[in-house]
Amino acid sequence: MAQHDAVKSSTEPYYAKLPPSVAEALRRPVEAWNVFVLGNPDLVELDATRVGPQEHTSVLNNIGAAKPIVESAAVDRGITTEQTGKVLSASLQAAAATADNINAKQAQDLVAGTSKNLIVQLVRRAYLTCQSLADARSDEDRALVAEYQKGVARGAGTATVGGMIAATTYAAPYAASFIDFVAHNAPALREYVVVAFQNQQLTQVIDAIEHMRATLTNDKP
């Protein structure tokens, strides 16, 4: 209701602007709910945990550092589906909202958390694949190593090696895509780790993934 009230007099279209009849129908139950919240200790505590100014600044910094990584993941069909890519792009658009209200801040907090989970899973999957390749025993792992090396030997650019693997193996290409993604986005990932985690170990993990890919392709990171 607060968002509607802020733009109800504007002649411009806004997503928060409700038809007058709908706004008035919602106003009474919303106000009644607010009164109910004041009498419920659990809900009062929940309301008190809203993102404060300092935390919100951190949220915005995290989103800013994550943006180039999420944008890259959104269009990379090797690691995300088309639908997932659309969701990621939409989440970044939502996070870019300039409205200074609790709804916008909560949406940005959600985007920051979603981005963090995505990035952690990308790095985790790439690292687990690297661990398997360091001691390649399964047929899939050996095929992945072999196809990387064949691709480079045939003079293919390292950016296309993953596609060559996809045409020749079954399980490996999906895993290879994560290694390629992390290695390609290593600088942005390192910057994000500094902003969001302040964790040197995660930086070392990214370094290890980049080194493994360089070893597979006989290239320099």
Give the mean model confidence (pLDDT) for residues 118-137. 83
Q: What is the percent of the chain where pLDDT is above 70? A: 63
pLDDT in the model for residue 52 = 60
Q: How confident is the model at residue 64 (pLDDT cuts 50, 70, 90)?
A: very high
* pLDDT surpasses 80 at 72: yes
Q: What is the pTM of this model?
A: 0.65
Q: How many Å apart are CA 83 and CA 195, to the nearest integer?
A: 28
For residue 75, count CB atoms less than 10 angstroms from its CB and return exposed for 0-12, middle for 13-18, buried for 19 or more.
exposed
Ramachandran angles phi, psi of 28, nearest 5°? -65, -50
Residue for token digits 């607060």? 2
Q: What ranges in the chain are assigned the alpha helix state H?
A: 2-7, 20-38, 41-48, 53-75, 82-95, 102-134, 139-153, 158-168, 172-184, 186-196, 200-217
Q: How confident is the model at residue 53 (pLDDT cuts 50, 70, 90)?
A: low
Return all residues near 196 (Cβ < 8 A) that are at least 6 apart. 62, 65, 66, 116, 119
* pLDDT surpasses 50 at 57: yes
Return all residues near 55 (Cβ < 8 A) that are at least 6 apart. none
Q: How confident is the model at residue 9 (pLDDT cuts 50, 70, 90)?
A: confident
HSE-CB for 110 with a 13 A CA cutoff: 14
Which is nearest to 211 in space by CA: 125, 118, 127? 127
Asked if 105 contacts 55 with a C-beta cutoff of 8 angstroms, the reply is no
- What is the per-residue pLDDT across 97-113, written as a single tens digit (0 to 9) for each? 777 777 788 888 889 99
Give the mean model confidence (pLDDT) for residues 23-40. 59
Residues in the chain: 221
Give the mean model confidence (pLDDT) for residues 47-63. 74
- What is the per-residue pLDDT across 87-101, written as a single tens digit (0 to 9) for each? 899 889 888 877 777
Return all residues near 188 (Cβ < 8 A) that are at least 6 apart. 65, 68, 69, 72
Asked if 140 contacts 171 with a C-beta cutoff of 8 angstroms, the reply is yes
Which is nearest to 191 in space by CA: 207, 205, 203? 203
